[in-house]
Chain A
Amino acid sequence: MNQELTTEEKAALKSIAKNLETFNKQRGNLIPILQMVQEHLAYLPSEALRMVAEYLEINACEVYGVATFYNQFRFHPPGKHPVKVCLGTACHVRAGDIILENFERKLGIEDGETTADREFSIERVACVGCCALAPVAIIGETVHGHMAPSKVEGLLMRIEIEKDIAKREKEKSESEQT
């Protein structure tokens, strides 16, 4: 389930190890510690879970059990373009689950996961406050209302194209400078 850690994350793990020592070695501190770890890393990689388990002298599986119980903990790094699909009442009625399914199929990941290149992550949310636009999906900061299964591919393609354009412009400005 785990992806390779980036170098920044490895550095963050070290500062987490230092931070751990400010906590008492009590089982009751498990959730505050996990929250601290997630604040540093934005998610809980298995390396971090094992580190916490070692520090509190409990089994890693117990840490995993507690962490999976709470919605606030995530096990995959957030993508550069987080896709949030609304499954609130209005979006549910307008078949938001089909939109979610489409994103999952197009990106090849499940809800709560992140693509291997860390570009996209899918999350289901419950109401984003614009029920009149149902079904709604949010990609990055942009709200896309009146979603349809056929629009999913276009939206993802647009992000790819925008990325390409930005890359080309960067190359162009670099070549002009030299």
Chain B
Amino acid sequence: MVALLVNDREIEAKNGTNVLQACLDNDIYIPHLCYLESLDLPSASCRMCFVEIAGEDKPATSCTTLVRDHMVIKTDTPAVRRLQRTALRLLLSVHRVDCKNCYAHKRCELQNIAKFLKVGLKSKPLNRYLKDTDIDEDHPFLNYYPNRCVLCGKCLHVCRNQHGQSVLTFANRGFNTVMSLYAAAEAPSPSCEDCARCVDICPVGALALKVNQEASIHHPTEK
């Protein structure tokens, strides 16, 4: 066990855990989108979980920083908040903000983080860049919404954990990056309908089971 000081509060964490997990275990919230406890190597791709560590000159991503004894951490300095707000605004600038018609409304991680960081859901002052396709219906059981996706990669990870290989993958590059269900459309794995772990893990509403879409509600917790 190591002891660290987070926001002037002393917490304990097991050796080898990362700062983000240690904070979350102690009810200290740090915004994050792409982190999962089961990840061996967090990718830190969402650029949300920044913290400031005493002795380091720049904010660091907490999911890739392991706890050390006597660490002094601040989670709410102006530098950290600035980075987080910028990252969120960039995500919102490629997001179709149509919350009322999104099944993830009110349990959406983007909404939560925006509220926490006090950022409006408009992408101001950034331009909004949306992809041409709003919905990808190729897969027999799943619908994918490119303009809602935050490309956290959690769906890919849970799918790989569950089935050894993922039927989801990142496709294309840059602004055109999407999650792709390629080939799964032609040779659907029958488990997709029953598994739907990717739908449950999605922090926004980018993946949905077709069946539930027709009923226009989806509450994974009540299933």
Residues of A participating in the B interface, judged by any CB pair closer than 8 Å: 46, 49-50, 53, 58-62, 64-65, 68-69
Complex alpha-carbon distance, A49 and B166, angstroms: 16
Q: Is the CB of B182 within 8 A of A64?
A: yes
Q: Are B165 and A62 in contact (CB under 8 A)?
A: yes
Contact A61 B172 (CB under 8 A): no
Contact A65 B170 (CB under 8 A): yes
A-B contact pairs, 7 of them (CB 8 A): A61-B166, A61-B168, A61-B184, A64-B169, A64-B183, A65-B180, A68-B180
The reply to whether B172 and A68 form a contact with Cβ atoms under 8 Å apart is yes
A62 to B181 alpha-carbon distance, docked (Å): 10
**Which residues between 138 and 185 of chain B lie within 8 Å of chain A, taking CB atoms?**
165-173, 180-184
- Categorize the interface residue count of chain B: 10 to 19
**Closest chain B CB from A30 CB (angstroms):** 12
Please tell me if the beta carbons of B165 and A64 are within 8 angstroms of each other in the complex. no
Q: Does A65 lie within 8 Å of B171, measured CB to CB?
A: yes
User: For the complex, what is the distance from the CA of A80 to the CA of B173, rounded to whole Å?
Assistant: 28
Nearest 9 Cβ contacts at the A-B interface? A60-B183, A65-B169, A64-B182, A61-B182, A68-B171, A61-B169, A59-B165, A68-B172, A65-B171
Task: Determine whether the beta carbon of A61 is less than 8 Å from that of B183.
Answer: yes
Q: How far is the CB of B205 from chain A (nearest CB, A)?
A: 22
Question: A64 CA to B169 CA in the complex, in Å?
Answer: 8
Q: Which B residues from 171 to 223 make CB contacts under 8 A with A?
A: 171-173, 180-184, 187
Query: How distant is B191 from chain A, measured CB to nearest CB, in Å?
Result: 13
Chain B residues with CB under 8 A of A69: 170-173
B171 touches A64 (CB 8 A): yes
Whether B173 pairs with A60 at a CB distance below 8 angstroms is no
Chain B proximity of A58: nearest CB distance (Å): 7
Chain B residues closer than 8 Å to A58, beta-carbon distance? 165
CA distance A61 to B181 in the complex (A): 7
- Bound CA span A58–B121, Å: 39
Q: How far is the CB of B168 from chain A (nearest CB, A)?
A: 7
